[in-house]
């Protein structure tokens, strides 16, 4: 039996400005909301394969991350690992291991959860810094609304 009905997993490197969006998001979400025990809000940072136990113990994985796209920074996309839009580059990241490799390993083990990815087109990543750009700060609220909607669909007892 899986330990979690849902894991909201924020990915990114906090030291590379907007690339840390997913981590900024989950930290903010944890401060604002309370969720039941069968839902976990996790800062996955750049942990890669160290996330395997968590990934394999959930029914549904909701990933918040960044993506490279020929689009305006701050543009938001929702997709599954099986249906990544061709115009998005979700393989190039500052993560230690590409997240899609982690999901592939979970699938090979027969433990891959149903997965939804909410990714924001990355803005400022050149140089070091822990602050999000204005456009990514603005995207936080939009992604928050999307995540709350996903949680409502997947778990009837989410409390605000």
Instruction: Let me know if residue 141 belongs to a domain.
Output: yes
pLDDT of residue 125: 67
pLDDT of residue 91: 62
CATH code of the domain containing 82: 3.40.50.1450
Q: With left for phi above 0 and alpha for psi between -120 and 50, is residue 132 left, alpha or beta?
A: beta
pLDDT of residue 160: 47
Instruction: Let me know if residue 130 belongs to a domain.
Output: yes
Of residues 51, 52, 29, the one with CA closest to residue 41? 29
Q: How many CB atoms lie within 10 A of CB 102?
A: 21
Provide the total of helices (H) and of strands (E) in the chain, helices listed first.
Answer: 4, 6
Instruction: Let me know if residue 135 belongs to a domain.
Output: yes
Question: What's the rounded Cα separation, in Å, for the pair 54 and 75?
Answer: 28
Instruction: Let me know if residue 91 belongs to a domain.
Output: yes
Instruction: Let me know if residue 24 belongs to a domain.
Output: yes
Into how many domains does the chain fold?
A: 1
What is the chain's pLDDT, residue by residue, as a tens digit (160 residues)?
Answer: 678 899 999 999 988 899 999 999 999 999 999 988 889 999 999 898 999 999 999 999 999 999 888 889 999 999 998 888 777 766 655 555 688 889 889 999 999 999 999 999 987 667 788 999 999 999 999 999 999 999 988 876 555 4
Instruction: Let me know if residue 138 belongs to a domain.
Output: yes
Instruction: Let me know if residue 159 belongs to a domain.
Output: no
Give the domain range for residue 133: 4-154
Instruction: Let me know if residue 160 belongs to a domain.
Output: no
Residue 145 token pair: 């609304």
């Amino acid at each position: 039996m899986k330990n979690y009905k849902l894991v909201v997993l924020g990915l990114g490197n906090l030291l590379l400005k907007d690339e840390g969006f997913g981590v900024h998001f989950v930290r903010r979400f944890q401060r604002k909301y309370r969720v039941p025990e069968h839902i976990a809000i996790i800062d996955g940072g750049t942990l890669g394969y160290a996330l395997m136990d968590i990934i394999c113990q959930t029914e549904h994985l909701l990933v918040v991350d960044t993506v490279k796209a020929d689009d305006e920074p701050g543009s938001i996309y929702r997709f599954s690992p099986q249906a990544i839009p061709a115009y998005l580059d979700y393989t190039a990241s500052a993560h230690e291991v590409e997240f899609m490799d982690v999901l592939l390993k979970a699938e090979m083990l027969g433990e891959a959860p149903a997965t939804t990815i909410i990714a924001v087109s990355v803005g400022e990543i050149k140089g070091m810094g822990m602050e999000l750009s204005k456009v990514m700060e603005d995207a936080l609220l939009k992604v928050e609304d999307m995540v709350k909607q996903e949680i409502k669909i997947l778990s009837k007892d989410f409390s605000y």
